[in-house]
Chain A
Amino acid sequence: MKQKPPKELRAFKVFAIKEGTVIDHINVGHAIKIIRLLNLADEKKVVTVGLNFQSKNLGMKDLIKVEKRELTPEEISQVAVLAPEATINIIRNYKVTKKFKAQIPELIEYVIVCPNPNCITNHENIRTKFHVRYEKKNINLKCNYCERLFVREEIKEYKNN
């Protein structure tokens, strides 16, 4: 059996941060999309990204640590659209002061690019709106404009991505 190294000898995969936000349990492949969506790379704040980490619940996960920045409620709901399993940890003085699951709002504004090429939002400069409906375990999204219904997996493009 492979022995786990004692905690003090384990290499840090990512450094602990003093102040900021840790977005954990991001579905694999979505960390970079979240960074682009929230413009995290452009703000001159230190951002640490972990890709393809082992995860008990997800098998594999991505992770983002943003220093000296707390996400706004709107940004948190945007994270939820891309990564519904994500947990948000607000860090102050190296301690987790708040920990919660990101919640998908009933109305998603801006984040999603409508997959329907004939939707007016893909031809004119319009802030997209999607109404969220839960069908059993699936999340369905209805475009406010073209009224098409999509399952989450059909959404391929997000703003800034």
Chain B
Amino acid sequence: MPNFKSRSIISITDLSKSDILHVLKYAEEIKKKPQLDLLKNKIMASCFFEPSTRTRLSFETAMEKLGGQVMGFSQAGVTSAKKGESTYDAMKIIGQYADVIAMRHPLEGAARRASEATNKPVLNGGDGANQHPTQTLLDLFTMKECQKKLSNLSIALIGDLKYGRTVHSLAEALTHFNARLYFVAPENLQMPSHICDHLKKQKIKFSFHDKIEHIINKVDIAYMTRIQKERFGDPIEYEKVKDIYVLTAEMLDKTKPNLKIMHPLPRVNEIATDVDNTKYAYYFEQAENGLYVRQALLGLVLGKLK
């Protein structure tokens, strides 16, 4: 059985299939039956070196819903990082005050570095463009919840697949569950080759597409992401693609009845608001599930869930 006690959760690649299923099992239990006193007298340091609303509030609420306490900061400006203190030193000290650390940092690798500085478990809430493992876990939890299974699903990843860290981690994690993947993106924002190579090795079937309409009737999950204007050197290139990757209610006429639409949020215009009221929309439930997954992780790494 996986042992999570005192373990840092830095990258989804650190988790085996049985680790992932173990977290999802406890998230499901907590969603059904809240555990109000599980982390009584435990303190979580919430160290957000760059602004984040959903992830930070979700971590902090998760801790408080388990009876624990939260201390920390929500921007680097108030820390000694401004005076030139290293992440290593800062996290070593914070680890002396807290029982567990949830952190986000603009630099890639900061969470791994933090986990070297302290023997308290570190939960990575995003390190630059690198990893955001709790997002991937909540995505998997949501897929399992809305499809009643996690294996052999047909999943479309849509939007910015080149720079989006969520879709990279998700694709990697789905190698454990024999997914059939459809990558829908403009050519210059397609899934990077090193991830495709990894999928090939794991014998995961995938294909590339440039229009949502080509695949939307085939899939169980449509995972939308935002195309960021700042990724385009030439604004004309952005104008060409910005409206192609917008999902509207009228595109959902002939889909599979079990289709669910997911999005890591925030969305801008890539899912029209008329989709919100269809039975396919599942992105708000997905965001809520972050709470249960983070509660499960906190309970596990603090040794209160086995």
Contact = CB atoms under 8 A, between A and B. Distances in A.
Given A125-B86, A145-B112, A147-B131, A119 B107 contact: yes
Interface of B: 11, 13, 86-88, 105-110, 112-113, 127-131, 194, 197
A121 B116 CA distance: 13
A148 B113 contact: no
Interface residues of A, number: 17
Given A145-B113, A149-B194, A120 B107 contact: yes
Contacts, number: 48
Contacts of B197: 135
Contacts of A145: 108-109, 112-113
A120 B194 contact: no
A116 interface: yes
Main DSSP-derived SS at the A contact region:
loop
Contacts of A126: 88, 113
A124 B131 contact: no
A123 interface: yes
A66 interface: no
Interface of B is mostly: mixed
A46 interface: no
Interface centre among A125, A126, A145, A149 (most CB of B within 10 A): A145
A124 B49 CA distance: 15
A119 to B, nearest CB: 5
A143 interface: yes
Given A121-B109, A126-B88, 16 more contacts: A118-B108, A118-B128, A118-B129, A119-B109, A120-B108, A120-B109, A120-B127, A123-B107, A124-B88, A125-B86, A144-B109, A144-B112, A146-B128, A147-B108, A147-B109, A149-B194
Contacts of B109: 119-121, 143-147
A116 B108 CA distance: 9
Interface in A118-138: 118-121, 123-126, 135
